[in-house]
Amino acid sequence: MVDVVEAVGHTAEAARPTSAGRSPIRGEGIRPHLRAFVETAVFILPALLGPAVIVAYLVGRYHVHPLTVDGKHFADGGFLFDLHVMWKAGHDVVTGHSPYPFVYPAPAAILMVPFGVLPWKLAVVAFSLFVVGALFLTLRLLGVRDWRCYGAALASLPFVGSLAVGTLSTFIALCAAAAWRYRDRRWIVATAIVGAVVTKLFLWPLVVWLVATRRFRTAGTTVVLGVVTVFGCWAMLGFAGLRGYLHFLGHVAGLEQARSYSPFALIRSVGASNSAAHLAVYGLTVVGIAAIFAIARGRDGDRRAFVAALAVALIVSPIVWLHYLVLVYVVIALYRNRMSAAWLLPFLYWTLPGEDSHGSTSVILRMYAFTAVAVGLAMYHRKARPPRAALASR
C-alpha cells in the first residue's frame, strides 16, 4: 500500500507545473514560433509595402503603369502626383514665383518650402519620412502603445495610398489627434485645427465641435488664427492667385468629385444631376451640424461629438479619396488603444479598385460599409454582466 501511495506521489510530482509555472504540454514550444510567424505575416511584412514602393522608385526599380484621366496623360500612373504638385509649389515660393494655379491654400505652399528647397528625390525621402512620422505621432498622441496597431495602420490602403500619391493626409490625422489630445489647451487645439483646415478645407466641422462642446473661446481663437494664417501666408506670396482661387478650386472639384468616394459621387452614380447632388449635400451639411450639437449633449458627448465632426467632414466634402480614410484610425485609436478586430477591418479597403471609385455605386457603398463596421466595432461597448449571485437572487 505504501508503495502504491509513493508511486501516485511520484506521478503527481511529475504532473506539477514546471519552474516556469506551466505543465509541459505537447507542442507548446511551437506556439511562440507560430505566433511570431502570424504577426510577421500580418503586421510586419504588409507594413513594409509602402516604404518598399518608395525605395523601388528611388533606385529606379518601380514599374510605372501609364494612365489617362479626364484627357490628361500620366506617364508614371500618377505615382507621387500630389507630392510633385506640392513640391513644385514649395520650389516656386523659394525661387520667388507664384505657385498658382495651385489646388491648396497658400499655407500649404508655405508648408512645402522645406521640401521645395531640396532636389526631387531627396524631397521624396524627406516627405516620405514626414508622412510615416505623422502617422506614428498620431497614434502615439492617442495613447496607442501596441506595436501591432502601428503595423496594421501602416499596412492599410489609406496609408499606402497617402505615401504613394504623396499627400498630407497623415498630417491632417496628426492635427486631428492633437486637437483631441490637447482639447482643453486653447492655443494648442486652435493651432492643430487651423493646421488641418488651412491645408484641407473639409475639416472645418472641427470648429463646430468646439462650439457644440462649449469651448467658445477656443472656437473664436481658432477662427481668428485661421484668418490670420491664411491671409498672412497669402501676403507672403503677394496675394497671387487669391482672387481666382475659389473658381479654380470649383473647376478641379468639377473634374474629380464624381470619381471619388464622397456622398456627392454616390448620388451622381445613381443618375442624379449635379444640382440635385449639391442640394442633397447641403441638406446633409445641415443635418450633420445639428447632429454634432445633439451628440455633444449626450453620454460621452465630447468624444462622440468629435467623432461626429470627423464623419461630417468626410460626408460634406465634395471629394473624398481613399487616403482621407487615414482619419478612420484616429477614431479607432480613440476607443481601442490595443489590437482588436477594429484595427484589422480596414484591410478590406484593399478589395477596392484604388483611389478612384470610377463612379461605381457598388464600390462606393462597399467603402461606406467597411468604414461603418470598423468604426462601429471600435465604438461598441459591451455592457458588463451582473454577478452570478445577483442573477440567482432574482
Look at residue 305 and tell me if it is in a domain.
yes
Look at residue 24 and tell me if it is in a domain.
no
Look at residue 35 and tell me if it is in a domain.
no
Q: Which residues contact 338 (CB under 8 A, 6 or more apart)?
A: 144, 145, 146, 149
Look at residue 285 and tell me if it is in a domain.
yes
**CA neighbours closer than 13 Å in the CB half-sphere of residue 121:** 6
Which among 242, 202, 238, 199 has a CA at the least distance from the CA of 101? 242
Res 281: pLDDT: 96
Q: For 150-193, write each residue's pLDDT tens digit.
A: 999 999 999 999 999 999 999 999 999 999 999 999 999 999 99
Of 17-31, 62-76, 364-378, where does the model show the most confidence?
Answer: 364-378
Res 246: pLDDT: 87
Dihedral, CA of residue 195, residue 201, residue 205 and residue 211, to nearest 10:
60
Look at residue 14 and tell me if it is in a domain.
no
Specify the length of the chain in residues: 394
Residue 393 pLDDT > 60, yes or no? no
pLDDT class for 69, splitting at 50, 70, 90?
low
Quote the number of domains for the chain. Answer: 1
CB 306 within 8 A of CB 335: no
Task: Show the domain range for 154.
Answer: 43-65+72-379
Res 390: pLDDT: 44
Look at residue 243 and tell me if it is in a domain.
yes
Res 27: pLDDT: 54
Which among 301, 306, 250 has a CA at the least distance from the CA of 274? 250
Look at residue 240 and tell me if it is in a domain.
yes
Instruction: Measure the CA angle with vertex 121, ends 119 and 122; round to 5°.
Output: 65
pLDDT class for 383, splitting at 50, 70, 90?
low
Look at residue 220 and tell me if it is in a domain.
yes
Q: What is the pTM of this model?
A: 0.87
Grid coordinates representing 197 are 483646415
Task: Look up cell 501609364; give the residue.
Answer: 66
